[in-house]
Amino acid sequence: MKKTATRLADGRELIYYDARDDAVRDAVDQRPLDPISTRSEIRHDRLLGDDVAVASHRQGRTYHPPADECPLCPSRDGRHSEIPASDYDVAVFENRFPSLAGDAGRCEVVCFTSDHDASFADLTVEQAALVLDAWTDRTAELAQLPSVEQVFCFENRGREIGVTLGHPHGQIYGYPFPTPRTRLMLRSLAEHRERTGRNLFDDVVADERSDGRRIVLDGEHWTAFVPYAAHWPYEVHLYPKRRVPDLMALDDAARTEFPQMYLELLKRFDRIFGEGEPPTPYIAAWHQAPFTADDRDDFALHLELFTIRRTSGKLKFLAGSESGMNVFINDVPPEAAAERLREVASK
């Protein structure tokens, strides 16, 4: 992998990740951009104990532009985008409309490919491996920022999820605090260790593999399963078999196998609802340990992949119980979801 860092016209950082060592990235951003002005702040909810990012400047972000005006495509034929080069493998840049900025963290955009009409599932194994390298490198770089406590790499796919740009891309958030979801995991981890003397993540994975009914894929270095208490209609958790706290700690064997496993899962997600259905909307979320957590080494890196579509043409809405009380109601039994995901293995 070759990494080339540069700056956009308004001073934001742009990083190219290339598979070829001889790639030259010297294109200059020629857009007349004004300096970025963000109004992001973190407000603490005293009742719930969590934090809310208030970012009013995001109201003006780009919203469903036509394909020929996509800001994530390469700059070609006299049209300038966020990527000055005429082609690229993987590109990462600071978000122009960040939810978190300055002392409140950092937000980046990850462009998986220059092909506007592709999806992550269309990538080759080599391309997916390069994305993994980019996620890992960005985690390492953001770990050095004093304003970042936890790095969250994720992809939103589909209009139903709220995606406003159709180009295949994801995001990276550098939070200035451990997220509420992570804090709950760390609390459960500590309680389980005090009660049993064992690691909760290890026990969860071992129990799923022993039961077997919810296993979707079981590789040499990774295991994918629908969790026993899945919140979403179709939800898969992907764990490396050797527990590590973050992407930086993955060994070469796990890094080599990951692209095949992940691409297979994404292809199966697109087959869940049968032929002729539109692409399955999903969220893919990497869970990594906060950098200063006391029990950081006990945390288990894993990826959670889920869709809000519950059946053909119908979505799972977060209504009163979910949104008002955070009590999820799942219409699809996890065992049935796992069976369906095993049935739709790619040919």
Under 8 Å between Cβ of 174 and 145? yes
Whole-angstrom distance, CA of residue 308 vs CA of residue 209:
25
Active site annotation includes 192: no
Q: Which is nearest to 198 in space by CA: 209, 189, 208?
A: 189
Ramachandran category for residue 73: left, alpha or beta (phi over 0 → left; psi -120 to 50 → alpha)? beta
At 37, which helix (H) or strand (E)? none
Q: What angle do CA 44, 41, 303 make, to 5 degrees?
A: 75
Tokens of 328: 């999820």
The catalytically annotated residue of 57, 64, 116, 169 is 169
**DSSP3 helix / strand / coil % (the chain, rounded to 5):** 30, 25, 45
Under 8 Å between Cβ of 13 and 3? no
245-261 exposure pattern, b = at least 16 Cβ within 10 A, e = fewer = bbbebbeeebbebbbeb
User: Which amino acid, residue 89?
Assistant: D
Q: Which is nearest to 284 in space by CA: 273, 297, 269?
A: 269
Length of the chain: 347
Q: Please list the active-site residues.
A: 169
